Every structure is written in C-alpha cells, then in structure tokens.
C-alpha cells in the first residue's frame, strides 16, 4: 500500500510571535515517535488574526519565522506546510502567505492568498482583509516524493475554480491552512472540504487555529481531513490538538478509475484555463 502519514497541528495563537514559534517546535518534537511525513500548521499561526496587526507582524521572505520554520523541517526530516504568516514585499505590500518546506528545510512552495476575506454577514461576522492585505495571483502546486500537491488559504476554498486548476495541474492532495469563524464554520467548513475533495477526487487537509473566545476573531477550529470519495477521515473539535491520519494514496488512483470524473469533462464545450 502506498501511504503517507500526516499530522495537522491545531495550535493556540498568542500575541507573542516567538512564543508561537516555540510552541510549534515543541509540538513537532513531541511527534517524533509518530514519524509523520507531512505536518501542517494553521492560517496566521504566529500572530493574532486581526487586520490592523498584520503589517506589524509582517516579515520578508527569508525572515525570522521563515528561518525558524526551515530549521524545524530539516531537524524533524518532515515536509512542513507552515500555515500562513503575514509577508511584506519590497514595495511594502502585505500578503497572507503560506510556505512549504521539504525534509531538508528547502522552500518548495509559496502561496499568497488569492481571495481576500471581505465579508459582512447579516447578524454575523464582519471582516475585511483588504484593509491591510494585498491579494496573490498565482495557482500553487509543488512536487514531493508522494506526488504533486496544491496549497491555498482559507477563503480560497470557496472558489471551486482554484481547486480544479490545482487538480488539472496534477495535485492529488490539497493543503489549506484556514480560520473559518463561528458564523461560517458551523455552516460551511466541513461541507467545503467534502465538496472540493469529491469534485476533484483529492485528499483535502484543512488546518485551523484552536478556538480562543478571548480573541477579537474566534476560530471555529475543527481541523479536518477528507478523502477523494468525500468522506471525513478525521476531524478535531475546537480545542488545541493534533490530528494524525494515514492517507492511502492508491485510493486516489482507484477512485479516479472507478468514477472517472476528471476524464469525463466535456472540454469540447467548456474549459477552465489558468490565466
């Protein structure tokens, strides 16, 4: 059986960046006996999810957090999908950015959140990332010893075109650091992961921060793994924790053979093209 072991870290987020990085390092060390191949972190795992704070926490690519995360991946000999952190470019634009490192600590992927979370739900959540963040413009896939994977961030999952583009480019696993809230989480978190997994016949891994009722933005939590048939393989509750799951990669091939959705598309009538 062609398998890989993944570990999703649902961490608490404090206002202290170094404290958050230290907590991740300690959790990775505690996982050594599990020997995971891939570990994933939540969206904005090293700073509060608060728009006015993103510029204050933002770092250039290769900055302090990047270096620490690279070292962790190398020390633990894992693929590390390092959640997302605020990144600032040379022009001063700030992005919600996800990095992925290989077992040697080399950066093998970088995704800037494409769809900014600007919502105003009647009787629910108001949030506007575009107050301080710029949007990315790249579809992100990358190669590993387990095959090609894709990565996007939170609100990106709501746009099925993006997941389909990653699948068209060969992604068999899609990683999503995310932080749905107490309005959208109960309604759409599990549904979104099951739907995107089913549509594209991929494994979907969603990693969220643990719930903190004292924070200005309250995460739904519930980090999740869904399979290519649309089943939920594992899901945490709202508390801090680790979700460890074995993925049978042969299932992707079997399901795509038995129910050939991707092959059955009518590309003579419609086509999704990467711009």
pLDDT tens profile 171-213: 999 999 999 999 999 999 999 999 999 999 999 999 999 999 9
User: Can you give the pLDDT at residue 121?
Assistant: 77
Q: How far apart are CA 22 and CA 37, in angstroms?
A: 21
Q: Out of 43, 87, 190, 238, pick the active-site residue.
A: 43
Neighbours of 256 (CB within 10 A): 18
Beta bridge partners of 205: 175, 225
Q: Out of 27, 129, 154, 190, pick the active-site residue.
A: 154
Asked whether 48 and 217 are in contact (CB, 8 A), the reply is yes
Q: Is 47 a catalytic residue?
A: no
| Dmax (CA) of the chain | 54
Q: Is 43 a catalytic residue?
A: yes
Residue 123 has pLDDT above 80, yes or no: no
Q: Compute φ and ψ for 104, nearest 5 degrees.
A: -100, 5
User: Can you give the pLDDT at residue 191?
Assistant: 98
Q: Out of 17, 76, 113, 152, pick the active-site residue.
A: 113
Whether this model's pTM surpasses 0.85: yes
Residue range 86-119, pLDDT digits in tens = 999 999 999 999 999 999 999 999 999 999 999 8
At 5, which helix (H) or strand (E)?
Answer: strand 3-10
Q: Is 154 a catalytic residue?
A: yes
């Amino acid at each position: 059986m062609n398998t890989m072991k993944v570990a999703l870290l649902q961490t608490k987020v404090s206002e202290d960046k170094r404290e958050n990085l230290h907590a991740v390092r300690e959790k990775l060390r505690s996982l050594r006996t599990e020997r995971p191949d891939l570990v994933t972190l939540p969206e904005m795992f090293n700073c509060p999810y608060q728009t006015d704070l993103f510029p204050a926490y933002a770092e250039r690519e290769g900055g302090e957090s990047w270096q620490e995360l690279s070292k962790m991946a190398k020390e633990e000999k894992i693929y590390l999908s390092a959640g997302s952190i605020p990144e600032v470019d040379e022009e001063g634009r700030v992005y919600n950015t996800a990095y992925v490192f290989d077992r040697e600590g080399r950066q093998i992927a970088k995704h800037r959140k494409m769809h900014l979370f600007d919502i105003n739900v009647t009787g629910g959540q108001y949030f506007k990332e575009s107050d301080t963040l710029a949007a990315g413009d790249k579809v992100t896939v990358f190669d590993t010893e387990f095959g090609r994977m894709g990565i996007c961030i939170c609100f990106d999952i709501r746009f099925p075109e993006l997941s389909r583009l990653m699948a068209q480019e060969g992604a068999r696993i899609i990683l999503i650091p995310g932080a749905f809230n107490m309005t959208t989480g109960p309604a759409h978190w599990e549904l979104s992961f099951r739907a995107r997994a089913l549509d594209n016949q991929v494994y979907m891994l969603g990693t969220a921060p643990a719930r903190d009722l004292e924070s200005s933005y309250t995460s739904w939590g519930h980090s999740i793994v869904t399979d290519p048939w649309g089943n939920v393989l594992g899901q945490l509750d709202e508390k801090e924790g680790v979700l460890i799951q074995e993925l049978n990669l042969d299932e992707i091939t079997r399901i795509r053979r038995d129910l050939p959705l991707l092959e059955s598309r009518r590309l003579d009538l419609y086509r999704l093209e990467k711009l």
